Structure 1
Amino acid sequence: MAEIRPFKAWRYNYKLRKQIDELTSPLFDVVSEKQRARLYQNPHNSIHLSVPQGENAAWKAGQTLQQWKDEKVIVQDMVPGIYSYFQYFTLPGDTKEYCRKGFVAFIRAYDWSDKVLMRHESTMPHSVDDRVAILEETKLNVSPTHGLYTDSDFQIEAMLDAGIQQPIYEAEDYQGVRDVLGVVNDAASIRKIVSIMRDKQIILADGHHRYEGSLRYKKMQLAKEPTATGKEAFNYHMMYFTNTEAHDLRILPTHRLVKNISDFAPAQLLEKLAAYFIIKLVENASDVNEIILGKQWAFGLLMGDEAYKIRLKPECIDLIDWNFPDKIKELDLTVMHYFIFEKILGIAGKDQTRSEKISFERNFTECHSSVLSGEAQFAVITKDISIETIKEVCLSGYTLPQKSTYFYPKVICGFLFGSILEDEFTSPFDSSL
């Protein structure tokens, strides 16, 4: 089902290998303003391609890319490969070091209706527009999205282990994660990986906006080329693949910050919440995460200098009139977006992806600071989501609200770039796949 293929990555010149820590950057949708300001100071940092600044930003990214090619800041690998990408990380309160093993390859950009690649999350249109513009100007996949496949036999990992023995890059990123990149470029191993992946369905874990950007770009090109064969470079997209069975996947919660609600009054909000939720005052805001842990339909509420635990009254679950199956209606995130954002704040579900009143923050401390400073009127603290829940959502054909998940660790931008320029994409190796 899933057609993947090796590719000839563009990478930083070998002479810059020891500077790779200074050339990588966080993905476009997680990089902070403070990080951007620092990274922009390095004229060769990958952020100039992924998040170009100023007016005509996408055009600038195209110009930067051409300059880097001309000056050999980046060079293209001579032979196609599938790139081993391992991430070594620890979690708060846990001394164990985890290693997430994955690989980067191109995948055909499938329509959602093909049911080869499954999404679990809604997107924000303006972010997709941004990705399409950069793709049009650069003809480059600047960073890989993250796809999940399931293989309980772990058939691919041994080949990835072989590919990582002589690392191309090794870096410690902004998350404190050790990222290691290698390459598998022997034909037999590549054919085997391609063959194993052929019967897989892929869950899109991270990068919905970038993938939709590739999908929209493909459709734009097909409209211009009605005689296209399907083998053209614009039909493909660069992705990082990991195995759901490896137990090294972490999905962290993404909290909601609310601002710009006119005539906002904390007492009035609590009164409206009380119609649907059981509300309990929490003495120490920092305890909220533990208090809601493991409790269905429970959230933290930070407002002013006070914190609350709010939990949906069980009899209220049947009030949800969104056209979802029961399993989706009963998810915490559905409860939050239906009752808090639609019923109480009056932001209709269809408008929530575009609402400037709702923003997203993974860090609890940042949420608390934003509320205390008055930058946000209140924050809703959520819990993490299991991979089983993600699978259920994908199989249902529905999606979670935008920014519902934060897969950890994130891949980084700058290890490799994937060209969809025809003469840089094709290879004599293609005929042997």
Structure 2
Amino acid sequence: MAEIQPVRGWRYSPTLSADIDAVVSPLFDVVSVRQREALYQNPCNSIHLSVPRAEGEVPPHAAAAARLARWQAEGVLRQDGLPGIYVYYQYFRLPGEARERCRKGFIAHIRAYDWAENVVLRHENTLPAAVNDRAELLAALRFQSSATHGLYRDERFELEALMDEAILDPLCQTEEDYQGARDVLAVIQDASTIQRFQQVLASRQVILADGHHRYEGSLAYRQARELAAGPGAYSGREPWNYHLMYLTNAASDDLRILPTHRVLRELPGNLSDEELLTRLAVYFTVLPQAEAQDLPEVIAGRRWAFGLYLGGGAAYKLRLRPEVHAELSWDTTPEVKDLDLTVLHFFVLEKVLGIVGPDAQRAWPGVAYVRGLAECLQQVDRGEARAAFLTNEVTMTQVEAVCHSGAVMPAKSTFFFPKTLAGLLFTSLEDGANASAFDRYFQSVGSEA
């Protein structure tokens, strides 16, 4: 199934790596405007490559390419001499938990498979503008500044033992990143060990957890390079046939998905709170609750259950009437119809509010996606929103079921935590950029798992 290859990674110089916190950055689709402006102040921060801005008359992508050339010439970024699999551990705590968790994974090149090949599976749709931006940046840089996040399943946890050994000798580590995690990077350069990673992945599909736009950007870039080269003029081994991915084990208990709540900036037709509750009661059991802060606990583990906050302390538990579910008429798979978020989008956004269909709902500016409970409640209390619908998290089992069904989830269904960082490891897509005398050891590794 999935072909992975070791890479000769580009990393910050030893001096900059010693203070890696100063040069890493959040991913392009989660970094806030305020974070970007602060990070731009450091001329060596990776934000200049992952989310570039114009420099005078020079447009963003061209400015990023010029900066990259300077960094390489001046030794800000240096390429490792040997190919490797890069081990990446993230140590973190969930809110309210004393236990420190560790998400274990590794970074490598994976062949940029088209969706139709059914090797890399998606669970979200993408926005064409964002895909085009990522593809154009990739074409300008021929350099990957952040890894997407993929999931494979290995119930035997064979690779974890190999990674545990490598992480004892880290290349660099953060003290604490913007989300409170500690990030540690190490490398495996032993050929036989790398081959074992390849063998395990060769029998498995990969689910794309995070980075759909960047992955599709890589597909678009590969297709453009193929077209430019012409039929028969490329081998399939060129670096632009590959995509940088962080791979973690879907069987791990420390793979966490946090809920993303729906905050309504407006109610179509300027519905009153009373009218909204009346319409909801057609489909849901509506139960008033004493404390809005308790809503996550009230709905936890309950199928098709949601919290609703209307401000001023007005909190409700909503639960879909079971007999109503058969009315869910969207043309999708049973696995998608069973999701809480599908129920919310169909019965609340479409049936109650009149925003008909997934495409219209994705384009509707009246809904915002907010992760923190406190922020949801505060936005309503501050008058910035009319209502907050609180949801349970999607489970890994549901993600896998949807992906294998060939369908996609509603927008913003998953928030894998913690997010990976940009700037820990870069790879070049220039022809010959990753070549080494050891390539022959890694080109034809089959499955023995």
The normalised TM-score by structure 2 is 0.92
Distance in structure 2 (CA, Å) of the matches to 1:146 and 1:161: 19
Distance in structure 2 (CA, Å) of the matches to 1:269 and 1:136: 48
Distance in structure 1 (CA, Å) of the matches to 2:262 and 2:305: 14
Determine the structure 2 residue equivalent to 1:329: 337
1:326-376 residue CA offsets vs partner (Å, 9 max, x unmatched):
232121011011112222233221233333232211111122222222222
1:76 aligns to 2:79 (yes or no): yes
Determine the structure 2 residue equivalent to 1:48: 48
Moved more, 284-293 or 1-10: 284-293
Distance in structure 2 (CA, Å) of the matches to 1:315 and 1:225: 57
SS at match of 2:156: coil
1:140-179 paired onto structure 2 within 5 Å: 140-171=143-174, 172-179=176-183
1:240 aligns to 2:246 (yes or no): yes
Instruction: State which of 343, 347, 369 in structure 1 corresponds to 2:378.
Output: 369
The alpha-carbon deviation at position 177 of structure 1 amounts to 1.1
Determine the structure 1 residue equivalent to 2:447: none
The alpha-carbon deviation at position 378 of structure 1 amounts to 2.1
Matched residue type, 1:204: L
Aligned length: 433
Matched residue type, 1:166: D
1:35-71 residue CA offsets vs partner (Å, 9 max, x unmatched):
2222222111111111223583223222222222222
Determine the structure 2 residue equivalent to 1:410: 419
The alpha-carbon deviation at position 91 of structure 1 amounts to 2.0
1:87 aligns to 2:90 (yes or no): yes
Matched residue type, 1:251: I
SS at match of 1:425: coil
Distance in structure 2 (CA, Å) of the matches to 1:144 and 1:186: 22
1:28 aligns to 2:18 (yes or no): no
Instruction: State which of 279, 287, 291 in structure 2 corresponds to 1:280.
Output: 287
Determine the structure 1 residue equivalent to 2:308: 301
Determine the structure 1 residue equivalent to 2:220: 216
SS at match of 1:291: helix
Determine the structure 2 residue equivalent to 1:254: 260
Moved more, 406-415 or 274-283: 274-283
Distance in structure 2 (CA, Å) of the matches to 1:182 and 1:212: 27
Matched residue type, 1:277: F
Contact 1:302/1:368 (CA < 8 Å) preserved in 2? Answer: yes
SS at match of 2:207: strand
Contact 1:49/1:61 (CA < 8 Å) preserved in 2? Answer: yes
- CA gap 1:261/1:224 in 2 versus in 1, 3 angstroms: farther
Distance in structure 2 (CA, Å) of the matches to 1:368 and 1:387: 27
The alpha-carbon deviation at position 6 of structure 1 amounts to 0.5
The alpha-carbon deviation at position 14 of structure 1 amounts to 0.8
Distance in structure 2 (CA, Å) of the matches to 1:236 and 1:366: 39
SS at match of 1:120: coil
The alpha-carbon deviation at position 148 of structure 1 amounts to 1.0
1:337-352 paired onto structure 2 within 5 Å: 337-347=345-355, 348-352=357-361
Distance in structure 1 (CA, Å) of the matches to 2:403 and 2:133: 25
Matched residue type, 1:296: R
SS at match of 2:343: helix
Determine the structure 1 residue equivalent to 2:193: 189
1:380-419 paired onto structure 2 within 5 Å: 380-419=389-428
Determine the structure 2 residue equivalent to 1:108: 111
Distance in structure 2 (CA, Å) of the matches to 1:379 and 1:216: 37
Runs of 4+ in 1 over 4 A off after TM superposition: none
1:128 aligns to 2:134 (yes or no): no
Matched residue type, 1:212: E
Matched residue type, 1:350: D
Determine the structure 1 residue equivalent to 2:366: 357
1:79-126 residue CA offsets vs partner (Å, 9 max, x unmatched):
111001111122223222222211100000111111111112222333
Determine the structure 2 residue equivalent to 1:266: 272
The alpha-carbon deviation at position 285 of structure 1 amounts to 1.6
Gaps of 5+ in 2: 443-449
Gaps of 5+ in 1: none
Determine the structure 1 residue equivalent to 2:436: 427
- CA gap 1:142/1:261 in 2 versus in 1, 3 angstroms: farther
SS at match of 1:281: strand
Moved more, 112-121 or 1-10: 112-121
Moved more, 35-44 or 316-325: 35-44
SS at match of 2:100: strand
Distance in structure 1 (CA, Å) of the matches to 2:219 and 2:363: 21
Distance in structure 1 (CA, Å) of the matches to 2:17 and 2:278: 59
Distance in structure 1 (CA, Å) of the matches to 2:318 and 2:252: 34
Contact 2:238/2:432 (CA < 8 Å) preserved in 1? Answer: no
Distance in structure 1 (CA, Å) of the matches to 2:170 and 2:153: 26
Moved more, 213-222 or 137-146: 213-222
1:162-220 residue CA offsets vs partner (Å, 9 max, x unmatched):
32222111112112111110000111111221122111111111111111111122222
Distance in structure 2 (CA, Å) of the matches to 1:324 and 1:262: 26
1:131-184 residue CA offsets vs partner (Å, 9 max, x unmatched):
122212111221111111111222212221232222111112112111110000
The alpha-carbon deviation at position 261 of structure 1 amounts to 4.8
Instruction: State which of 200, 203, 211 in structure 1 corresponds to 2:204.
Output: 200
Matched residue type, 2:294: D
Contact 2:90/2:102 (CA < 8 Å) preserved in 1? Answer: yes
Distance in structure 2 (CA, Å) of the matches to 1:159 and 1:114: 30
The alpha-carbon deviation at position 20 of structure 1 amounts to 0.6
Distance in structure 1 (CA, Å) of the matches to 2:68 and 2:309: 44
Distance in structure 2 (CA, Å) of the matches to 1:422 and 1:258: 48
